[in-house]
Amino acid sequence: MHYHAQHAPFGAFASFTLGLPGARGGFGQSLPGPADQDVYIGFRRVAADGAPATPWQLLPYYQRPQVAAVAAFTGENTRSASHEPQPIGLEKIERRLGWASDTWRHEGFSFCLFSPFGPTAEPDTMADDVARRAFAPVVCAEIGFDNTHGAEDIELLFGIGHAEHPLRPLEDSAADLAGFALGHAHGFAARPADVHSRIQGLDMFNPPARDHRGLHLLGQEAALVFRVRAGEARRLPLALGFYQAGDVTTSLRSRYYYTKFFDDLEAVLRHGLAEHAFYSETSEARDAELATSGLDVDQRWLIAQATHSYLGSSQLMLHRGRALWIVNEGEYRMINTFDLTVDHLFLELAWHPWAVANTLDLFARRYRYTDTIQRPGDHAVLRGGVSFTHDMGVMNQFTPPGRSSYECERLHGCFSHMTMEQLLNWICCAATYVEKTGDHEWLRGHRRLLLACAESLRRRDDPRAARRTGILKWDSHRCGADGGEITTYDSLDVSLGQARNNLYIAVKAYAAWALLERAFAALEEPAESTSARAAADLAARAIAAKFEADTGLFPAVFEAGNRSRILPAVEGLVFPLYLGFADELRARHPDLFAKLSTHITKALQPGVCLDADSGAWKISSTSRNTWFSKIALAQHVVRKLFPEALNEKARAADAVHAKMQQSEPLGRYAMVDQVDSSTGVSLGSRYYPRIVTACLWLDR
C-alpha cells in the first residue's frame, strides 16, 4: 500500500498523484513525475465549545518544512508543536486501489479518489453533453466520516501546501464554489453549503496572521474544513480540476479538446461537483468489473495501477477543428511513441478504438518516410521502402515530417533508428484495428499504403526475391555504414537491442505476414493475400530452422554464435491470439509452435528468464533490465498458447511483480516499466503508461 498512484482525467495529460508515505504529490500538468505539493487529508475531533479536542490526524502524504514560511518575513522560525498535525500510522490505514478509484480508511474516516473511464465514441461525432462528461479535466473525490456513534463532532480537512504559487480563493471569481486554485491551472472545490470553514496562510496549522475574512493571501497552504456532527455520517464531494487554455503543442498547433466545452477552471470544477454521482458510479462500475474478473489480487492490482498511469499520460487535443490523440511516454514525454502505441492497442480497442485509427492516420500522413537499405559490411545501398518514425515529438513539440525526437543518425544502440520495427508496428496495429472493429472503409482508404508496407517488408528481408529467407536482415541507410537498427528494447544488450536477424523481430514479422494475408483478403486482393501467406510460411520455416536441438532453445539473435534466451520470442503471437486465429496458425505451422513451446518451457527456469534471486520474470537471460509491460504481454501469450511451459515458480511471479511496484523505489513513480529484475531498482521508464498490456489478462 506504500506507493503513489496517478489519478487522472481522460485526455488531460494531468494527474493528482497521491499515496507514497512521507512524499509530496498533488496537482501536476504535463510532468515527468509526481508534483511537489504537500497534500493534507484527514480529521480531528472537536470539543463541545468548538475548540479542537485532538490534533489533526492526516494521511502521511506531506513533508512539513523544517523552516516555517513566516521566517522569510519575520526572521523567526517559530512553530507551536501543539498545533502540528500528526500522521496516521501506516499500519492503521486500509487502502484499496480499484480499477478507477483509490480509497483510504481509518476508523470512521474515509477518503476516495475517482478516475472514471468508459467507452467513448469518436470525439468529433459525440453530442456535446456526452463529450463534456467524457473529456472533462476533473478528478472527483469524496471525504467522509461515520460519526454515528461518536460523542464529539468531527472536522475533516482537504488541502494542499508547498504550492508553486500563492493560492487564490475561488469565491473571488465564483461565488458558487468554495475552494482554492493555483492560478488558472488547477484547483479544488466543494459546494459552499458543505464547507464549515476555509484556511489559507503561510502555515495553515500555525497561522501567524489572518485577513478580514480569516485568510492570508500570501500563504502557499490552503484547505477546506468540513464538519460532521456527533451522530451523523457524511460523505462530501470534492472536485479536483485542471485547465490549460490556448495552444499547447507546437508545429502541429493544438489546444486541449476540453476547451470546446469549458471556458475556465471554475467551469470545470462546477461541472465536477454537478456530475459527482455520475463519475463515482462510473468508477464503481469499472471497479466491479475488475473485482469479478476471476484474476487474483496481485493481477488485479497490477491492472488497476497500470490503467491509472496510462490515463495520466493521455492527451486529447483539438487541431484544425478535429480531435488529435496523443499518449505521452511517461517520464520521457515523447508523443505517440510507436512501440508504445502497439502495446496500448488492446486497451484502446476495448474502450476507445477511434484513438488507434487517429494515431495510425497521423503516422500515415506525417510520420512515414521512404528510405534506402544496406547490410553491415556490404557497401551496396539499395531501395528500401516505406516505414514510420519512432515517435512524433517530445514535450508538446511535434517534430518535422518523417522525423522523430528520438532517432539519430549513424549509431549502434540507444537513439538509433527502429525502422523495421515501426514498419511492423503499423502493419500489426492497422490489421488488428480493422479486424477487431470491422472498419473496412478505413482499410480501403489505406489500401495503397498497406501494399507499400508489404513490399517494404519483403525488401528488408532482401531486395532480391531469390535471396529472401523469411528473416529481416537489412538495416535502414539512416543508420549509416557503421550503425545498426535497434528495437523497442533499446537499453538491453544485443539479445533484444539489435533488430537485424533478431528472434523477436522474426516472430513479429511472421505475425505481420499472417495479418496481411487476412487484410488483403478483406481488400479482395487475392494475389497479395497468397503472397503474404507464402511469406508467413517462409518465415515459419526459417525461424524453426534456428532452433538448437542440443539446448531446446532458440538463440535471441541469429548471428555470431549468440546464446541469449528471450521471452519475447512469442510476443508477436499476441496479435493472432487476440484476434482468435492463433490455433489456425498452430495447425499450419506445428513445428514452429512446438519449438516455441519447448523454448519457453526451458526459458522459464531460475537463472534463465526467471530471476534466480527474486523470482521475477525477465525478458532476457543475459540482462537484468526487465520491462513489466513486456512481461505482462509474454505472460498472456504463454498462459493462453503455451500453458504447459508454466511451472510453479513462473505462476507465482505476479506477487513478486506487484510487491516490487508497491515498494520503494518503484512506488515513488506510480508505475515503472524498466526494473532490475533482481533488486527491484528502477532503471527508467517511470510514471509510465505502457504496462496496460496487462489488460490483456482480462481477455479470458
Residue 329 in 3-state DSSP?
coil
CA 685/CA 674 separation, integer angstroms: 6
3-state secondary structure 362-388: HHHHHCEEEEEEECCCCCCCEEEEEEE
- Give the type of residue at 329: E
Amino acid at site 69: A
pLDDT at residue 165 tops 80: no
Provide the mean pLDDT of the chain: 95
Confidence at residue 80, expressed as pLDDT on a 0 to 100 scale: 66
Look up residue 689 and give its amino acid. Answer: P
Residue 70 pLDDT > 80: no
CA 656 – CA 676 distance, rounded (Å): 13
pLDDT at 665 over 70: yes
Please give the Cα distance from 348 to 698 (Å, whole number): 14
pLDDT tens per residue, range 233-265: 999 999 999 999 999 999 999 999 999 999 999
Q: How far apart are CA 195 and CA 70, in angstroms?
A: 27
Q: Round to whole Å and give the CA distance between 13 and 117.
A: 14
Q: What gap in Å lies between CA 148 and CA 157, rounded to an integer?
A: 19
Range with lowest mean pLDDT among 82-96, 457-471, 607-621: 82-96
Query: pLDDT tens digit string along 342-400?
Result: 999 999 999 999 999 999 999 999 999 999 999 887 788 999 999 999 999 999 999 99
* pTM score: 0.96
Is the pLDDT assigned to residue 273 strictly greater than 70? yes
Residue pair 171/214 in contact (Cβ under 8 Å)? The answer is: no
CA–CA gap between residue 390 and residue 405 (Å, rounded): 8
Residue 370: phi and psi, rounded to 5, are -115, 130
Tens of pLDDT, residue by residue over 507-538, are 999 999 999 999 999 999 999 999 999 999 99
Tell me, what's the pLDDT at 211?
81
How many C-beta atoms surround the C-beta of residue 222 within 10 A? 28
Q: With bands split at pLDDT 50, 70 and 90, how would you rate the model's confidence at 65?
A: confident
Average pLDDT over residues 393-408: 97
Average pLDDT over residues 427-436: 98
- The torsion defined by the Cα of 601, 605, 607 and 612, in degrees rounded to 10, comes to 150
Other C-beta atoms closer than 10 Å to the C-beta of 643 total: 10
Q: Which pLDDT does position 78 carry in this prediction?
A: 66
Contacts (Cβ under 8 Å, ≥6 apart) of 684: 331, 491, 673, 674
Task: Find the mean pLDDT for residues 549-569.
Answer: 95
Residue 413 has pLDDT above 90, yes or no: no
CA separation for the pair 110, 108 (Å, rounded): 7
Share of the chain above pLDDT 90, in %: 88
pLDDT band for position 71 (50/70/90)? low
| Candidate from 406-415, 553-562, 570-579 with smallest mean pLDDT | 406-415
82 pLDDT more than 70: no
CATH of span 328-698: 1.50.10.10
The number of beta carbons lying within 10 Å of the beta carbon of residue 621 is 19
Distances in whole angstroms, Cα of residue 437 to Cα of each of 118, 582, 697: 17, 18, 20
* Percent over 70 (pLDDT), the chain: 97
Alpha-carbon gap, residue 321 to 301, rounded angstroms:
38
| Length of the chain measured in residues | 700
284-323: pLDDT as tens digits: 999 999 999 999 999 999 999 999 999 999 999 999 999 9
**Amino acid 79: pLDDT:** 66
Residue 75 has pLDDT above 70, yes or no: no
Task: Quote the pLDDT of residue 349.
Answer: 98
Work out the pLDDT band at 204, boundaries 50, 70, 90. confident
